[in-house]
């Protein structure tokens, strides 16, 4: 899965640099930037690992977002059930997917 973060890693390491790459493969990276040096494969892999870890650490947010009711449904619940019922419904999702 780390391979899909190669472009992000390069962009993070050399913001604004110009380059081309095929299939997220560092070995097929063509560096066209004249102002910044090409990052090493090790630099890119280290940054891709960091990005992947950050992505995995935020999995709970993606899971929660998928289960939260729409804003319209939440407002309807607030209107008909009140704050405590709305809060309980949201808390159930937070409990199901706790932070890291």
**What's the CA gap between 48 and 46, in Å, rounded?**
5
State the pLDDT at residue 4.
Answer: 87
Using DSSP's 3-state secondary structure scheme, residue 82 falls into helix
Average pLDDT over residues 87-96: 98
pTM of the model: 0.75
Distances (CA, A) of 62 to 47, 68, 72, 96: 22, 10, 20, 12
Quote the tokens at residue 83: 């704050």
Burial class (CB in 10 A: 0-12, 13-18, 19+), 82: exposed
State the pLDDT at residue 2.
Answer: 73
State the pLDDT at residue 47.
Answer: 97
Q: What is the pLDDT of residues 18-75, one digit of tens each?
A: 999 999 999 999 999 999 999 999 999 999 999 999 999 999 999 999 999 999 999 9
**What's the CA gap between 36 and 75, in Å, rounded?**
51
State the pLDDT at residue 42.
Answer: 97
pLDDT at position 3 over 90: no
């Amino acid at each position: 899965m780390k391979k899909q973060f190669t472009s992000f890693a390069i962009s993070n390491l050399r913001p604004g640099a110009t380059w081309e790459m095929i299939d997220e493969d560092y070995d097929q990276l063509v560096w066209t930037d004249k102002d910044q040096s090409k990052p090493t494969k090790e630099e890119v892999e280290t940054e891709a690992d960091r990005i992947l870890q950050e992505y995995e650490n935020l999995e709970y947010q993606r899971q929660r977002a998928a289960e939260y009711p729409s804003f319209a449904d939440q407002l309807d619940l607030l209107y008909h059930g009140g704050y405590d019922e709305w809060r309980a419904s949201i808390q159930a999702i937070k409990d199901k997917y706790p932070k890291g």
